[in-house]
Amino acid sequence: MFRLGIAQIQPGDVEKVAGLVKEADLVLLPEYSLFDPTGLPAEEVWRRATTLEDFVERLGRIASQSGAYVAGAFLERGPRPRVYNTTALVSPSGALVGIYRKTHLFDAYGYRESDVVEPGAELSQVFDVKNAKVGFAVCFELRFPEVFRELALAGVQLAAVPAAWYSGPLKEETLHVLARARAVENGIYVAVAALYSQRFTGRSLVVNPFGVVEAELGVGERYREVAIDLGLVEEARRTVPTLNLRRPRLYKLLCGGKET
């Protein structure tokens, strides 16, 4: 049984999570884990952003103290004044395993993440984390089924989603509907670690491959460890084999008529 730790924290001191970890194999931190860039000009965001090396060092201290893999998203300095929305994964030894830079930016509800953030060029690779196949997507990317279908076809069993989900009418409901849809349509686990503050919802959750919410963290700063039964991925895909029943040649606008 794989154990996932979800850290629903406010932006700032990520290293406090180290004292909360019990038996997790992987600990997931939210998006914007170091600071909230909302409303700040690009130059100020760049100034507050940090380097990949600095963030890896912070996650490494959590990992070395807890013995877990640790992942989380932060704003990484790019070519001034641009930044990347970067998710980093470190091993229990504190070494960098890999990164994913958010590709689909939050230009919605009147907000323009693209004014500040430079998008990544590729979707997440698949990482082997203690025999679990893990891939990453970030927050707004929950609205893009294509992202999660690509991850599922690449072999992902757990899609880990650092998020900073803005509050607003029905936004918490939307977060949960999207996470459940991405899980059940692909037969994978979807885990969302959502930032918590007056501006952001919290309401982190873990959804199993049948679309059942197995954990929900509510509001406030919370930490919870959830058992992930990887065998349930195979069971879901046998029971509802949507990945095998696809007909890509019919999806002309999506796939250009090519079989995949």
The sign one gets for the Cα dihedral 115, 116, 122, 126 is negative
Tell me whether residue 16 is in a domain. yes
Tens-place pLDDT, residues 151-199: 999 999 999 999 999 999 999 999 999 999 999 999 999 999 999 999 9
C-alpha to C-alpha distances, 22 to 58, 92, 95, 225, nearest whole angstrom: 18, 14, 20, 8
The C-alpha torsion from 109 through 114 and 115 to 117, rounded to 10°, is 130
| Tokens 């692909």 sit on residue | 186
**Residue 227 domain-assigned (yes or no):** yes
What are the tokens at 155?
């072999």
The answer to whether residue 260 is domain-embedded is no
Please report how the helices 145-153 and 171-186 are oriented relative to each other, as an axis angle in degrees rounded to 10.
Answer: 30
Neighbours of 195 (CB within 10 A): 27
Cα–Cα dist 95/256, whole Å: 40
Sorted by sequence, the CB contacts under 8 Å of residue 231 that are 6+ apart come out as none
Q: Could you report the per-residue pLDDT of 6-47, keeping only the tens digit for each? A: 999 999 999 999 999 999 999 999 999 999 999 999 999 999
Residue 162, domain member (yes or no): yes
Cut 0.85: pTM above it: yes
Instruction: Decide if 52 is inside a domain.
Output: yes
Query: How many domains is the chain built from?
Result: 1
CATH of the domain at 97: 3.60.110.10
Q: Residue 111 sits in which domain range?
A: 2-255
Q: Is residue 135 part of a domain?
A: yes
Give per-residue pLDDT as tens, 68-83.
999 999 999 999 999 9
47 occurs within a structural domain: yes
